[in-house]
Amino acid sequence: MSGSVNARAGASPSERPEETAAFFDLVRVFARIGCLSFGGPAAQIALMHKAVVDERHWLSEERFLHALSYCMLLPGPEAQQLATYIGWLKHGVRGGIVAGLLFVLPGLFVIICLSTLYALFQDAGWLAGLFFGLKAAVLTIVLEAVIRLAHRTLKTRFLLGLAIAAFVGLFVLGLPFPLVVLVAALAGFIHARWLPAPAETPEPVSAESRRVSLGRSLLSLAFWVFVWQLPFLVLLAMAGAENLAAMFAFFSKMALVTFGGAYAVLAYVAQVAVQDYGWLRPGEMLDGLALAETTPGPLVLVLSYVGYLVGFRTVPGLDPVVGGILGACLTAWATFVPSFIWIFAGAPYIERLRGRPQISAALSAITAAVVGVIANLALWFALHVLFAEVRRLPLVPGWTGEGAPGLWWPTVATLDPAALGLFLVSALLLLRLKIGLVKVLLACALAGLLWRLAGF
């Protein structure tokens, strides 16, 4: 008996059998992830991987990466979609709803509180000191995620080449994220078709995913779309809610095109919110981005900050704070409910494809490209945490417009010694001494706050 347990404990994540997850354990784990998911999608994916693959063995490595590959193809926050997918795999629709909501709700609560303070006092500068140390610690989590995913995903030269190509395409050439992912999928499909790999025994497909009915899927899709747009119908019937209705319609459209994460859509949202609707004043979008970057959850929660200001300023007959909270919640509803739709409607079909070699090869290629995507995010994040000034140097002289190839390059003289020191300390504590994540985050946040309060 002890020999089998030891063998099981020493097995790699891809060889261990998947373990069951009690519903209460699922709630507890994703509540914790939701409260600690700082640092953007790279760190959030790393947290989930560590929790459900490394620590609890709820999913195998292959199944986790299979789910991640599908989520990277979808519009919207891929980390929240991955949380929903994992919850759905373990406990069906109720598990997906709980995991997806717990991933978002802590950050939404924090962004509403910070937006209230901002709307009342118009000052976000104090956040820089509070979260200075936190960002340095999160950098360690992001870099660890890149190393771990690269080690477990890039098993062939072909997949390594895809990861490198994705990194160069994003970091240097500035290619659109959907294009990088689609090209990787096509390359994987063609590679499997013309150079098939040795046959492998596919993982068994779950009974739930085998029972897929087109009629049932369409009914489910129609139901969730109705749930998604129900607030819009209510707003249309309310007097004085025209601005909220226009805002809800706008962010519903955004939810369908936000490929590549929040940064891909923020510039457009800022332009529309400032120039077209006059919801925000120039510069306020950057303040909102600062708020969102220092809260747990998806960075796209910055849209709830926009919704808060719309409700705070434009709803007659309501207390401004109440209007702001309503606006933030409506924006979150319009933004995040579609993520549940993509998973509940599409995941059963994606699970059925796990046994098809060419489709699996395409998804594996996407996963390899995702390593390059996360490496791009990690390097960009590291540069902006450690250096006060980072510029994009054009590779082609004179070509400096949007989409021009170039390199992000820091001004060496602006290196922040305190940020570098906190990063090295957090790396030592997390990677070498194996200190708990919560303890390290709290210690670094406190150290950063004291450093700023001391006037450095």
At 5-63, the pLDDT tens digits run 444 444 554 455 678 889 999 999 999 999 888 767 777 888 898 899 988 899 988 88
Residue 106 confidence (pLDDT): 92
Give Cα 373 distance to the centre of its chain: 12
How would you classify residue 114: left for phi > 0, otherwise alpha for psi between -120 and 50, otherwise beta?
alpha
Residue 308 confidence (pLDDT): 93
The single residue listed with the structure tokens 């747990």 is 296
Total count of domains within the chain: 1
Give the span between the Cα atoms of 304 and 248, in whole angstroms. 11
Give the span between the Cα atoms of 298 and 111, in whole angstroms. 11
8 A C-beta contact, residue 378 and residue 144: no
Dihedral sign for Cα atoms in the order 184, 189, 194, 198: positive
Q: Name the burial class of residue 24, with classes exposed (0-12), middle (13-18) and buried (19+) by CB atoms within 10 angstroms of its CB.
A: exposed
Give the span between the Cα atoms of 448 and 442, in whole angstroms. 10
8 A C-beta contact, residue 386 and residue 410: yes
Hey, is 393 helix, strand or coil? strand
Q: Which residues pair with 408 in a beta bridge?
A: 392
- The verdict on residue 16 lying in a domain is no
- The verdict on residue 89 lying in a domain is yes
Residue 131 confidence (pLDDT): 64
- The verdict on residue 187 lying in a domain is yes
- The verdict on residue 425 lying in a domain is no
- The verdict on residue 287 lying in a domain is yes
Query: What's the domain range around 164?
Result: 21-129+157-196+217-409
- The verdict on residue 85 lying in a domain is yes
Give the span between the Cα atoms of 120 and 117, in whole angstroms. 5
- The verdict on residue 260 lying in a domain is yes
Residue 331 confidence (pLDDT): 94
* Nearest C-alpha neighbor of 72 from the set 200, 289, 225, 264: 264
Residue 118 confidence (pLDDT): 82
- The verdict on residue 145 lying in a domain is no
8 A C-beta contact, residue 246 and residue 277: yes
Helix, strand, coil shares, percent, the chain, to 5? 75, 5, 25
**Tens digit of pLDDT per residue, the chain (456 long)?**
434 444 444 455 445 567 888 999 999 999 999 988 876 777 788 889 889 998 889 998 888 888 887 887 788 888 899 999 999 999 999 999 999 999 999 999 999 998 898 888 765 555 556 567 777 777 777 777 677 778 777 888 888 898 899 888 888 887 777 788 788 888 888 887 776 554 444 445 444 444 566 777 788 888 889 999 999 999 988 877 888 999 999 999 888 866 655 555 665 677 677 777 888 876 677 667 666 766 788 878 888 999 999 999 888 888 999 999 999 999 999 999 999 999 998 888 888 776 677 777 777 787 788 788 778 877 877 887 788 888 877 777 666 655 566 777 888 888 888 888 888 888 888 788 878 766 777 788 788 777 777 766
Dihedral sign for Cα atoms in the order 137, 142, 145, 147: negative
